[in-house]
């Protein structure tokens, strides 16, 4: 190995290299290497000191305000990792995050302005996006008041939305069916009172009915008197003999919680006296039985709600399922449904697809159906729960 071109060639030939030469040459080589390393170190330290600024600025001088911002690396320096002097704003990916009012991509001369992330265009950036109407925003539901006027009511976000798919409902006259994952769900029911007259419950069973909801009784809308439906006991016995499952309902006119408790006690007393068994709920109905002014008409929402809760709680304390019956307007406008979470709902609405937004377990979909066993129009229902095993 040659350290210097001035060295004698004989030292490169191992055959002519003797021990004397080796000793002298070793000493000279060490001295030469140390001298060269010392010179290189001095040069490097001198260059480093010239290039590196002090803590407070170049050459260790005290910085004035803004001095640090004024210092920039030499644009021709090769010590940068990439060898480039561009800044973050020069990178292409920043264009992927437009600010409001800027198009996502710059349009060419023959292109329409690109949409902004807010759905407008570059020319429309000063215009607020038009809000959807209440009929389209998914936050309101339509109800028809008793006087026929239409109203859009805001949905309660704390109530569970019903989970039924519109495509699952199939009407096979006279019954409504519901399918989920190609499997038929639900049970066929009929609600019956003295207005249906003499009912052939065996014919109902043979027609495909699974259960009946019998009117147990009512409180007079004007007198306030409690009474049992005139055909209730007869209907119960015939329904049981026909092998139908049985539920019941009571039509309330309570104006306070004392009367609501009295109505519940009346129902329990009748069931006990006649030794009746239910495998479907005993529902509280607010159905108006006649025209004219009723004693409950002026009742406010919360007193009405408290009355319903009082009744249903007393029924359930006796070991019987309870539920609330009503149409969409009654349920949403006359009751505080948020206070009644946990109680089942029996929804009434004559329509092809149920229009009730919240969860319900039973739907009365037809009040004038033709079916074997009932002479006039039958009130048909579909129940999505099997209360017999609940």
pTM metric for this prediction: 0.67
| Residue 224 covered by a domain | yes
Query: The tokens 């009742």 sit on which residue?
Result: 299
The answer to whether position 264 is within a domain reads: yes
Domain count, the chain: 2
Q: Write out the two tokens for 103.
A: 């198009």
Q: What is the pLDDT of residue 42?
A: 64
The pLDDT value recorded for residue 133 is 87
Q: What's the CATH number where 353 sits?
A: 3.20.20.80
In a domain, 287, yes or no: yes
pLDDT digits 0-9 by tens, 226-262? 999 999 999 999 999 999 999 999 999 999 999 999 9
In a domain, 112, yes or no: no
Written as one string, the DSSP assignment of 106-152 is: PPPTTSPPPBPTTS-BGGGTTSPPPPPPTTTSSSEEEEE-TTS-EEE
Residue 300 CB neighbours (<10 A):
8
pLDDT tens-place string over residues 307-350: 999 999 999 999 999 999 999 999 999 999 999 999 999 999 99
pLDDT of residue 58: 38
CB 83 within 8 A of CB 76: no
| Phi and psi, residue 244, nearest 5° | -90, 145
Q: Using an 8 Å Cβ cutoff, are 216 and 250 in contact? A: yes
Cβ count within 10 A of residue 287: 16
Token pair of 91, please?
């990178």
* Per-residue confidence band for 214, with pLDDT thresholds at 50, 70 and 90: very high
- What distance, in Å, lies between the first and last C-alpha atoms of the chain? 97
Concatenated DSSP letters of 72-117:
---TT-S-SSSS----GGGSGGGGGSPPTTS-SSPPPTTSPPPBPT
Q: Is residue 26 part of a domain?
A: yes
Tell whether 31 is covered by a domain.
Answer: yes
Q: What domain range is 36 assigned to?
A: 1-44
> Rounded to whole angstroms, how far apart are CA atoms 252 and 284?
7
In a domain, 151, yes or no: no
Residue 102 lies in a domain: no
- Asked whether the beta carbons of 217 and 238 are under 8 A apart, the reply is no
């Amino acid at each position: 190995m040659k350290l210097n071109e001035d060295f004698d060639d004989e030292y490169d030939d191992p055959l002519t290299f003797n021990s004397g030469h080796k000793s002298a040459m070793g000493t000279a080589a060490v001295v030469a290497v140390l001298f060269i390393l010392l010179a290189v170190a001095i040069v490097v330290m001198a260059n480093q000191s010239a290039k590196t600024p002090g803590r407070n600025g170049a050459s260790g001088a005290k910085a004035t305000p803004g001095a640090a911002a004024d210092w920039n690396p030499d644009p021709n320096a090769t010590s940068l990792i990439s060898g480039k002097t561009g800044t973050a704003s020069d990178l292409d990916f920043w264009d992927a995050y437009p600010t409001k009012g800027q198009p996502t991509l710059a349009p060419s001369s023959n292109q329409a302005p690109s949409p902004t992330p807010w759905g407008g265009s570059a020319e429309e950036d000063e215009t607020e996006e038009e809000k959807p109407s209440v009929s389209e925003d998914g936050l309101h539901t339509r109800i028809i008041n008793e006087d026929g006027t239409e109203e859009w009511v805001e949905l309660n976000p704390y109530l569970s939305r019903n989970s039924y798919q519109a495509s699952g409902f199939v009407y096979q006259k006279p019954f409504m069916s519901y399918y989920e994952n190609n499997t038929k769900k639900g049970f066929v029911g009929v609600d019956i009172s003295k207005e249906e007259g003499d009912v052939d419950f065996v014919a109902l069973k043979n027609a495909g009915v699974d259960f009946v909801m019998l009117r147990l009784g009512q409180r007079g809308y004007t007198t306030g008197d409690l009474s049992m439906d005139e055909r209730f006991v007869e209907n119960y016995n015939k329904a049981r003999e026909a092998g139908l499952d049985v539920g019941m309902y009571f039509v309330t006119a309570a104006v306070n919680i004392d009367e609501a408790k009295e109505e519940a006690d009346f129902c329990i007393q009748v069931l006990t006296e006649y030794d009746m068994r239910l495998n479907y709920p005993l529902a509280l109905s607010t159905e108006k039985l006649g025209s004219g002014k009723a004693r409950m008409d002026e009742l406010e929402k919360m007193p009405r709600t408290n009355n319903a809760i009082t009744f249903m709680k007393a029924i359930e304390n006796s070991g019987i399922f309870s539920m609330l019956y009503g149409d969409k307007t009654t349920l949403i406008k006359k009751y505080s449904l948020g206070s009644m979470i946990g109680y089942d709902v029996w929804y009434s609405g004559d329509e092809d697809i149920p229009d009730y937004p919240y969860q319900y377990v039973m739907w009365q979909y037809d009040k004038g159906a033709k079916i074997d066993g009932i002479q006039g129009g039958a009130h048909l229902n579909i129940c999505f729960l099997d209360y017999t095993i609940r």
